[in-house]
Structure 1
Amino acid sequence: MQRHSFEHDGVVFSFLDAGGDGKPLLALHGHWMGASDFAEVANDLSPEWRVIALDQRGFGETDHGAAHHMAAYIGDAVALLEHLSITEPVPVLGHSFGGIVAYHLAAVHPDRVAAMIIEDIGVNMQDDSAPFVTNWSGTFRLREALEERLGPRLSPYLQNSICRVKNGWTLNFDPAEFLESEQATNGDHWNVWLQSRCPALVVSGGESRVSDAGELRVMAEKRDAAAFAQLKAGHSVHIDARSEFVNLLRQFLKQQHL
């Protein structure tokens, strides 16, 4: 994947594009993560699919400090498609936070979304990560010190979010800004989830500590044109069970004749 940038809403956005002649697929990452977390999935889906992954505002190599609200996230995704002159509806893969943005995008811009894959995220969000995230701030002289602060469960998933700076290592997002984004995505999203009509696949990580598999199953049951699948994985299904996840994704997209 090649890294590119564009400007929208006064923000410079960074994104990764697999390029080639494949059909475009938009990927939206979860909180704490970034576009680079989809690189291996993009390789697996190539050359049939051209994965385009956005560093959402406040994360990765995209500018930090911009306003955080759902309308902005939706507008950012549309702006990326417009920047690439992609006018036809595309499948959208959304992991966690990115999944919330994906189903809001499908509700507001049904002409942009051909299908959506919602990875391990529900529709009733009441999160408060402040107790353990606030102490991630700052620069750590040793990378190992930052990894220790993140803890053994989360550190492996945040390797792509650790970056080298002048005086050591830090995260490529501000934990305080993440908390703003978390608040912007909290709430009851059931009505939004039920508004869209495109085919949808809800994927649950059977070992996830973030989402409730029962809620995800009900999401698929209550919405037309939606299916549920569960894989043996944690919250980041596309990382923990990449091969199975990619096969599931391919099968779903083929069923939709995409």
Structure 2
Amino acid sequence: MIERFATVRGLRLAWLDGRGDGAPILALHGHFGRARCFAPLAAALAPRYRVIALEQRGHGHSDRAGDYGPDEYVADAAEFLRGLGAGPVIVLGHSMGGVVAFRLAARHPELVRALVVEEGGALNRPPDVPHPVLDVRDWPRRAATLDGLRRAIEARGIPDAGYFLESAVEHPDGWGLLFDRDDMVASQRALIGDWWADWLGSSCPALLIHGPESFVLPTAQARAMAGRRPGTVLRELPGCGHWAHDDDPAAFASAVREFLAAL
């Protein structure tokens, strides 16, 4: 995938282009994530599909912003697609990116042909989600080595820092993360809420992918989401958690491919 940049609503946003002439898929990562988490999926779906992964505001190589409200993420995605002259497209999102995806479909149905939502819940607040905010404000700003940064993050109670280290880069004064810690806490807090109206607010075909071991999306909620929204297929991937695309990349790609083939 090739990294490119676009000016979207005054922000310089990075995006990765899977290239090719296949049907476009806009891919939206979750909190703390990077566009490159979709590289394995892009390879698995090529050449029939062209994955276009947007690095959302405040993440990766994209600009920081003053507002991380969910509406801002949706407006960014809509403007980005219009700037590409793309639409309607398949929109795929993980976690926060999944919520952005289905809210985009509800607000801009002309831009969304179908949805693939991985672990993006319609209800993101206690007690349904006991801990909707991961407080990273005391995470290290710098470490002498990448392994030192990993160990420092895992010392904060993170079993495996691999996902977060996708945002790790080497600076002149050591290894650090691309995202701002305060920004990420603010963004997570802004996502706390009831998003059922948005989930039910579109009519395009949808695939909901759930990892039964997830600590973010309860299985009961995933099944309710599929049951209440017509045209929704639920795929539960055994042995997977919140990051199903990392836990079992082959099963994740297969679920997406089968859904797309049926469109």
Structure 1 and Structure 2 fold alike (TM over 0.5): yes
> How far did 1:85 drift?
1.6
> How far did 1:144 drift?
1.7
> How far did 1:185 drift?
1.1
Q: Secondary structure at the match of 2:110?
A: coil
Give the RMSD, CA atoms, in angstroms.
1.2
Q: In the alignment, is residue 120 of structure 1 matched against residue 119 of structure 2?
A: yes
Task: Select which of 201, 206, 213 maps to 1:207.
Answer: 213
Aligned to 1:237: 244
Deviation per CA, 1:68-95, whole angstroms, max 9, x where unpaired?
1122111111122122221x31111110
**Structure 1 runs (4+) greater than 6 angstroms displaced:** none
Aligned to 1:228: 234
Please say if residues 165 and 177 of structure 2, whose CA atoms lie closer than 8 Å, have aligned partners that are also in contact.
no
Please say if residues 201 and 229 of structure 1, whose CA atoms lie closer than 8 Å, have aligned partners that are also in contact.
yes
Q: Distance in 2 between matches of 1:85 and 1:254?
A: 24
Question: TM-score under structure 1 normalisation?
Answer: 0.94
Segments of 5+ residues of structure 1 without an aligned counterpart are none
For 1:213, the aligned partner's letter is T
Q: Distance in 1 between matches of 2:43 and 2:133?
A: 34
Aligned to 1:90: 89
Aligned to 2:260: 253
Q: Distance in 2 between matches of 1:159 and 1:140?
A: 12
> How far did 1:121 drift?
2.3
Aligned to 1:176: 182
> How far did 1:244 drift?
0.8
The sequence identity of aligned pairs, in percent, is 37
Deviation per CA, 1:178-205, whole angstroms, max 9, x where unpaired?
0111122110011111111011111111
> How far did 1:125 drift?
1.0
Segments of 5+ residues of structure 2 without an aligned counterpart are 126-131
Task: Give the number of equivalent residue pairs.
Answer: 253
Question: TM-score under structure 2 normalisation?
Answer: 0.93
> How far did 1:137 drift?
4.3
Q: Secondary structure at the match of 2:137?
A: helix
